[in-house]
Amino acid sequence: MPAFASVHCFGEAKMKLTIVFAGLLGVFLTPALAYTDINIGGDSNSGISGQQSVSVNNEHNVANVDNNNGWESWNAMWDYGTNFAAVRLFKQKVCIVHRMNKDAMPSLQTLDALVKEKKLQGKGPGGPPPKSLMYSINSERVNDLEKLGKPIAGMCRGIPTYTANELEGASLFFYSGTCIRADVLWILRFSFCGKIDA
């Protein structure tokens, strides 16, 4: 009988050790995902309103930006693995996919560091101006979302999706078409120009 009791105690100790190890593993894996809420707008004269949140997933090489501003809300996904970015516009009920401009857009490591150090807050009108990127939306819909990578395909599935090409050296001042603007925090200003049929 005592032999059975000692085996039973050993089994409990092994199970407790496994639970502790699993808990520690979770603590060490948690830094793979950085998340922060960043309030933009408010009383500033910047013209930006709403709330944005940024999440960085180092394991899957993607970053998400959510802009919550009522009917003007949108989500953006930057897939550093495929070099594609997408923005889902709720009002227009479309997805727009474009190549990432690595000269203008921060690297995943830089964005992750900015999120963790909370350096994306408070840059506002007093800081350096955001980099502006302007895109022309192609009129043909994307038929095969899988070629854009699983994260973007998942985000854009079920809604009309279009690609867009960057207009280098272009300015909104000289462009006469309709453009949709998506400001990402205080670091980037995207303009998507052209007619889309949702």
Task: Reply yes or no on whether the pLDDT at 106 is more than 80.
Answer: yes
List the domain boundaries for the chain.
32-193
Q: What digits encode the pLDDT tens for the residues 52-68? A: 888 888 889 999 999 99
pTM: 0.72
Contacts of 90 (CB under 8 A, 6+ apart): 71, 72, 73, 74
pLDDT band at 19 (very low <50, low <70, confident <90, very high): very low
Q: What digits encode the pLDDT tens for the residues 25-50? A: 333 444 455 555 455 544 444 445 56
CB atoms within 10 A of CB 137: 21
pLDDT at position 190 = 92
Beta bridge partner(s), residue 89: 74, 94
